[in-house]
Structure 1
Amino acid sequence: MIGKNIRVTLGRREILHGLDFEARDGRVTAIVGPNGSGKSTLLKAMTGEIPATGDMSLNGRDIDAMQPWELASVRAVQSQSTTVAFPFTVIEVVRLGHSAGPWAAEPGIPEAALSRLGLDGYAHRYYHELSGGEQQRAQLARVLAQVWHPVQAFQPSWVFLDEPVSSLDIGHQFVVMDLLADYARQGGGVITVMHDLNLTAIYADHVVLMKDGQVLARGTPAEVLTDERLSQAYDHPLRVNRPAPSGVPYLLPQACRDAS
């Protein structure tokens, strides 16, 4: 995914100020930054949810020149919040994604997607009866079912995600992030807006740090998530990897992962 000179204007206010963006297949690209920095706006611009100017291409093709069915065959999108107006069951929601993708004729994908998100046994429950975190995982299952195979016809599939772990407990956060990292390792492309900087440091291959509608820094987590750059982005003095004062809990969730 390549974007050049991306601009978004809402009303009389310019939200994105001619920024450039690049995400490569085979890696997780995380977009981070403070509230109002333009993270979700950038994602919506790249997925066509809001009007934008600039040049944007996916797998070497101009997005504006691609038909909706062509885009649906190579990329799937999970918004920050999704409203389901009808009394659909969970499996029906996931099948909406499956039917829109290139693997609609391949049986068992919706069920497999639910299983990967820890939603075995939820297929015939009504979507509106689920908790917020369960709904979020069901929406991710819908996204995965649409672009189930990370590589197809020698080109990568892509997932665009806006805060996919925001409503999840820590265990399910790791389930989701492990799944996305595995998708990238298999050759797919993952672009995700993130608020959790610890998870970003653990899982992202490439980080885009935004502030005020512009890219403040880009690179590996070690290059971007520094004291100086984070303090500048969040307008607050921040330190990376410093133990908390005595008596204050200090969590290291990355210690849960197998270092191998």
Structure 2
Amino acid sequence: MFNLSGKTAVVTGGGSGIGKAIAILFAKQGADVAIIELNQANAEATVSQITSMGGKATSYACDVSRQTDVQSVFEAIFTKTGNLHILVNSAGISHIGNLEKTTESDFDRIFTVNVKGVYNCLLAGVENMKKSGGGVILNLASVAGTLGIPDRFAYSMSKGAVLSMTLSVARDYINQNIRCNCISPGRVHTPFVDDFLKKNYPGQEQEMFDKLSKTQPIGRMGTPDEMAALALYLCSDEAGFVTGSDYNIDGGFVRLK
């Protein structure tokens, strides 16, 4: 089950966090993984990890917010592999602050990466999947896209947009054999969390980490590997009847609070 042999998978933001875990797991399951990443050093490190275990992966330096660059990278991937079966839109950035603490530049930065970046990759991805006879798209949304979470004004806006784009693409391309879903993680222990605690709570990192973990009914944060496991299912043939869906993976945060 969940065999991705013979499939080409593009993973944006595959150099760290959830994107990295997805890229590694997909490669373990046989996919030829193309990592699109702004931080080329991180992307190359992920590629090295994949190839060292016998997997196939290539990295492409790209700012997903630049449409011409995205189109060029997807064309290069399609020329190299001859197809595109899977697209995972994991690249994204965060922002902490309510409406009044969100500057115009903050808002533009979040929108440009988290919304326009996903749009750019969807546009290029759908174009190439149509040539391949279909495919599956997975977008990384967030519980912040459907719930009111304090001090996440711009970030919540962007993830709400990701959810809406997911549903729209799923509806518009269902007859062209393209499935599109999204997952909405709760708090996940990634390098971003560690950097945030170090910057904002020096000397209190463990105390604040425990506090944030306990905001989820299950009593802990998720792991990137757990997110990757759900991503694998949704991008596999076993999920062939699943499209237009948003999956909370949040330790009970949405339903059990």
Query: Normalised by the size of structure 1, how large is the TM-score?
Result: 0.35
Considering only CA atoms, is the larger Rg found in Structure 1 or Structure 2?
1
Q: By percentage of residues, which structure has more strand?
A: 1
Q: By percentage of residues, which structure has more helix?
A: 2
